[in-house]
C-alpha cells in the first residue's frame, strides 16, 4: 500500500488555513482525528472518517482555534501533538514563546507554559507510564522538561550550544530523549540522570577525532532540524541542512552509514518527517522542497517522489491503520495520499495466464529456495 501511494482525486481535506501549514498530528487512539497548526497561529481539528460513505468526500474541519479565539497563539504554531492516551487533550507550541495544553471538548486552554525564546518543537512520550514530561526545544540551548501533572518546568538538560530545533522521546524507553540542535549535534539523554547526556552522536563513529585535534562529535555539517525514531525505537533518523539524512543505532549511537544521497533541506526551522508503520522494509517520508521523498530506511533507496503541492512541504504524518499519508505545505493545503486500488482481475482468467505483476524491487524476495542451488 505504501508503494502505491498517490494523490487521491476522491478525497479532499477542507481548506481552512489562510497561511502555511507547519505541523500535523493524528491521534493514536482511533487514528480518526487530525490536528494542524499554521503560520498564522490557527489550529484546526479534522475528522478523517468518511461519514458520508460516498467514494468522493471531504475530510471536514470539526472546529478550530481561529484568529478571533481569546487563547489563539499570537505567532506561528510550530508543533501540535495529541495527548498519547486520550483525545480529550492536545498540545501546541509556537513562536509566541508558549506551549499550550488544550481541552479538546471546550477548546479552552487548561495550562500555558511560558518560555524565554521561540518554541521550535515539543514532544510527549508515546509510551511513558511513570512520567508526564513534555520535552521542549526553544531558542535557548537548554532543553526544558515540563511536567503535565504539576504544571511546572521540572528540570533542564544542558549540553547544546545553540537553539534546539527538534525533540523526540524514544518509543522504546520512556526516560530516553533525543534532541537535535543548530549546533550540528544530536544528543541522547536519560532524563533521570543529572550528570548530562548519554551520548552525542558522531557521524564519523570516532574515526575523525583520532586523527585530528577536532574531537567534537557532530551528527551533521549543518543545523540538525529533524528527528524521527523507528517504531521499535532501535534506530533514529536525523536530517540536517547539510542536505543529508542519517540513520543511527539508538542503543550504541553508531552511524549506520546508510547513504540516502542528497536530501534537500532548506528549512530554517524544524522539519517534521515520518516513518512507516508495520511495513517490511520500513520507509521514511521526508519533505523535499515541494515534494515528499519516500526512502527505504535500511538501504537508502529513493522509491518515489510524491508531487502535488505548489510550495515547500513542511510536515507529513502517517495514518498507520490504512497506510495513508497527509502532508502540509506553505501553499496552505493539506493533501491526502492514499494507496491506489489494484485493477480488478477478470474472474475467468486462469491464474497461469496472468502476467507476473511487476514488483517494486523494494518488495522482491532476497532469498532463493534450496532447489535453485543444486
DSSP state of 210: H
Q: How confident is the model at residue 335 (pLDDT cuts 50, 70, 90)?
A: very high
β-sheet bridge partners, residue 23: 37
From 100, 99, 138, select the one nearest 118 (Cα to Cα): 138
Q: Is residue 236 part of a domain?
A: yes
Cα 337 to Cα 359: distance, rounded to the nearest angstrom: 20
CB 92, CB 99: distance < 8 Å: yes
pLDDT at 347 over 80: no
Question: Residue 146: helix, strand or coil by DSSP?
Answer: strand
Res. 215 pLDDT band, cuts 50 70 90: low
Residue 363 has pLDDT above 50, yes or no: yes
Higher-scoring residue by pLDDT: 361, 219: 219
Report residue 363 CA to chain centroid gap: 24
pLDDT over 90 at 207, yes or no: no
Q: How many domains does the chain have?
A: 1
Q: Radius of gyration (Cα) for the chain, nearest Å?
A: 21
What is the pLDDT at residue 152? Answer: 86
Q: What is the pLDDT of residue 191?
A: 94
Q: DSSP for 254-271, please give it.
A: -B------------SS--
Q: In the numeric block, which cell numbers belong to residue 166? A: 527538534
Terminal Cα-to-Cα distance of the chain (whole angstroms): 36
200: domain CATH number? 2.130.10.10
Q: What kind and span of H or E run contains 211?
A: helix 207-211
Distance CA 177, CA 190 (A): 6
User: Is the residue at 365 inside a domain?
Assistant: no
Place of cell 518509543: 171
Give the model confidence (pLDDT) of 322-332 as tens digits: 899 999 999 99
Q: Which helix (H) or strand (E) holds 208?
A: helix 207-211
- Residue 278 burial (CB count, 10 A): 10
pLDDT at 211: 53
With cell 547513504, the residue in question is 259
Instruction: Please determine, for residue 214, whether its predicted confidence score (pLDDT) is greater than 70.
Output: no
Q: Is the pLDDT confidence value at 143 over 60?
A: yes
93 belongs to a structural domain: yes
273 domain residue, yes or no: yes
Per-residue model confidence (pLDDT) at position 354: 47
Q: Flag whether 183 is in a domain.
A: yes
pLDDT for the residue numbered 121: 97
Where does the pLDDT of residue 371 fall: very low under 50, low under 70, confident under 90, or very high at 90 and above?
low
CB 272 within 8 A of CB 283: no
Residue 68 region by backbone torsions, left for phi larger than 0, else alpha for psi between -120 and 50, else beta: alpha
Rounded to an integer, what distance in angstroms lies between the CA atom of residue 45 and that of residue 59?
10
Task: Please report, for residues 95, 135, 239, 308, the alpha-carbon distance to residue 224 in angstroms, rounded to integers and kept in the order given.
Answer: 18, 17, 6, 26
Query: What mean pLDDT comes out for the span 196-212?
Result: 82
User: What average pLDDT does the segment 8-34 reach?
Assistant: 95
Q: What is the mean pLDDT of the chain?
A: 90
For 86-142, the pLDDT digits (tens) are 999 999 999 999 999 999 999 999 999 999 999 999 999 999 999 999 999 999 999
Asked if residue 363 is part of any domain, the answer here is no
- 370 exposure class (CB count in 10 Å sphere: 0-12, 13-18, 19+): exposed
Cα separation values, 107 from 13, 28, 139, 281, Å: 21, 20, 28, 40
Which pLDDT does position 374 carry in this prediction? 46
Which residue, 122, 234, 137, 252, is CA-closest to 183? 137
Q: Judge contact between 144 and 153, C-beta under 8 A.
A: yes
**Residue 373 counted as domain residue:** no
196 falls in which pLDDT band (50, 70, 90)? confident
Q: Is residue 358 part of a domain?
A: no
Helices (H), 43-137: none
Is the distance from CB of 117 to CB of 134 less than 8 angstroms? no
Q: Which domain holds residue 163?
A: 5-339
Amino acid at each position: 500500500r505504501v508503494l502505491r501511494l498517490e494523490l487521491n482525486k476522491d478525497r479532499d481535506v477542507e481548506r481552512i488555513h489562510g497561511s502555511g501549514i507547519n505541523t500535523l498530528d493524528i491521534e493514536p487512539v482511533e487514528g480518526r482525528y487530525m490536528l494542524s497548526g499554521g503560520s498564522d497561529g490557527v489550529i484546526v481539528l479534522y475528522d478523517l472518517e468518511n461519514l458520508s460513505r460516498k467514494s468522493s468526500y471531504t475530510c471536514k474541519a470539526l472546529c478550530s482555534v481561529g484568529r478571533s479565539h481569546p487563547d489563539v497563539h499570537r505567532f506561528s504554531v510550530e508543533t501540535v501533538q495529541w495527548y498519547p492516551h486520550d483525545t480529550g487533550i492536545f498540545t501546541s507550541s509556537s513562536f509566541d514563546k508558549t506551549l499550550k495544553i488544550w481541552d479538546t471538548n471546550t477548546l479552552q486552554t487548561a495550562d500555558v507554559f511560558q518560555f524565554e525564546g521561540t518554541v521550535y518543537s515539543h514532544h510527549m512520550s508515546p509510551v511513558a507510564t511513570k512520567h508526564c514530561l513534555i520535552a521542549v526545544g526553544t531558542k535557548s540551548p537548554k532543553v526544558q522538561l515540563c511536567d503535565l501533572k504539576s504544571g511546572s518546568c521540572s528540570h533542564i538538560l544542558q549540553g547544546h550550544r545553540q537553539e534546539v530545533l527538534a525533540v523526540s522521546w524514544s518509543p522504546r524507553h520512556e526516560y530516553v530523549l533525543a534532541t537535535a540542535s543548530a549546533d550540528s549535534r544530536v544528543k541522547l539523554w536519560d532524563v533521570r540522570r543529572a550528570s548530562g547526556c548519554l551520548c552525542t552522536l558522531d557521524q564519523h563513529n570516532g574515526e575523525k577525532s583520532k586523527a585530528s585535534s577536532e574531537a567534537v562529535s557532530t551528527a551533521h555539517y549543518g543545523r540538525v532540524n529533524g528527528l524521527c525514531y523507528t517504531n521499535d525505537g532501535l534506530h533514529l533518523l536525523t536530517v540536517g541542512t547539510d542536505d543529508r539524512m542519517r540513520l543511527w543505532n539508538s542503543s550504541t549511537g553508531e552511524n549506520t552509514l546508510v547513504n540516502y544521497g542528497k536530501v534537500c533541506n532548506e528549512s530554517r526551522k524544524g522539519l517534521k518527517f515520518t516513518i512507516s508503520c508495520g511495513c517490511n522494509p520500513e520507509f521514511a517520508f521526508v519533505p523535499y522542497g515541494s515534494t515528499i521523498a519516500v526512502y527505504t530506511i535500511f538501504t537508502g533507496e529513493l522509491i518515489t517522489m510524491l508531487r502535488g503541492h505548489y510550495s515547500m512541504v513542511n510536515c507529513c504524518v502517517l495514518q498507520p491503520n490504512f497506510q495513508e499519508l497527509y502532508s502540509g505545505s506553505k501553499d496552505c493545503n493539506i493533501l491526502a495520499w492514499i494507496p491506489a486500488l489494484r485493477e480488478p482481475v477478470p474472474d475467468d482468467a486462469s491464474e497461469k495466464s496472468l502476467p507476473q505483476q511487476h514488483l517494486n524491487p523494494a518488495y522482491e524476495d532476497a532469498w532463493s529456495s534450496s532447489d535453485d542451488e543444486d
